[in-house]
Amino acid sequence: MCGIVGFLSVEKDKSKIIEKMTNRIIHRGKDEVGYYIDEQIALGHRRLAIIDLDNGKQPMISKDKNIIVIFNGEIYNYLELKKELEEKHHTFSTNSDTEVLLHGYEQWGDNLPKKLRGMFAFAIWNKKNNTLFCARDNFGIKPLYYYKSDKVFMFASEIKAFIEHPDFEKDLNTNLLRTILNI
């Protein structure tokens, strides 16, 4: 089990916020913690090392420094995909399924999830285009929650990570509550 968190905002001091958000889900991975922060986004990752123990650190950044990925899960067919990507002249420096996601996004873009077999939730920041691409497996085995307001867009493996962001509104939506309770 690993955990991912991130947010897009104009917040100036993203580092303290993303650190608190990532620490909120420390139980999801005590082996390592990693961050990526720029003027638009902050990404955090908690790692439980299973595959490629020495080289699977996250966030993982492409060679041209434009694509950044954080990932929770397991891609069952990553070796097949790696072979296919190598045939298309992608070079790998690790044996991790995370790097397959990185190169897979470079090759297939938003169609990447259609190629994947496994349980996963990931976020990919395209620094060149300033776009965030998030996906999870069809069954939601690996959770991916999100929150959007006028000030911020957040995502995380667990909702409780949002509590650490100062722009998260902790209000009860009574309209939705009525729908859920069928009142």
* Residues annotated as part of the active site: 2
Helices 78-87, 97-108: crossing angle, 10 deg rounding: 50
Tokens of 77: 């067919």
In the chain, the amino acid numbered 158 is E
Of 129, 133, 156, 126, residue with least CA distance to 17: 156
Tokens of 94: 């690790």
The whole-angstrom separation of Cα 97 and Cα 37 is 23
In the chain, the amino acid numbered 106 is E
In the chain, the amino acid numbered 5 is V
Q: Please state the separation of Cα 110 from the chain's center in Å.
A: 14
Instruction: Name the DSSP letter for residue 138.
Output: T
Counting every residue, how long is the chain? 183
CA atoms within 13 A on the CB side of 140: 4
